[in-house]
Amino acid sequence: MESRNIQSSPDTPIGDCLKYDRSGSTPILLIPQPTDDPNDPLNQPRWQRDFQLAALCLMAIVATVLSPILAADSLVIALHYKLDFGQIALLTGYHLLAVGITAIFCVPSACYWGKRHLYLVGGILVCASTAWAGSAGGSYKSLLWARVVQGIG
């Protein structure tokens, strides 16, 4: 849905059923119109909306970086776990497979119930699985499953 503001001229009659931003000298017609529900994001203060946007941007950056991040250290990881490059490549492959499979379920869920629960669950899963992957130590299987859970998150 497109969000835009239309400024009305001072001599334009302001309708009782329409909502305007009256913080400036000229009222601005709000499109889309916020509801009377206090939980409507359009009724939140600007700082709160900006904070939520910054948090979502940060999570998007973290989620985007997680897929290819191990590619730069493939040699070091292969030497640490004493495995060949094929098994190290599986760390990224299974991660991306989990991303793809999860999308099949998350997209309809977001359309039906909204995106808030997905942001919350995804953020928790990414943070927890990243801590899990960091503490995997010498266990390749633990790191592999942590990467799968990261992909789901």
Domain ranges of the chain: 1-40, 44-152
- Determine if the pTM surpasses 0.75: no
* Digit-coded pLDDT (tens) for 95-141: 999 999 999 999 899 999 988 889 899 989 999 998 998 888 888 99
Q: Is 114 left (phi over 0), alpha (psi -120 to 50) or beta?
A: left
* Digit-coded pLDDT (tens) for 133-153: 888 888 899 999 999 999 998
Place of tokens 């919350």: 120
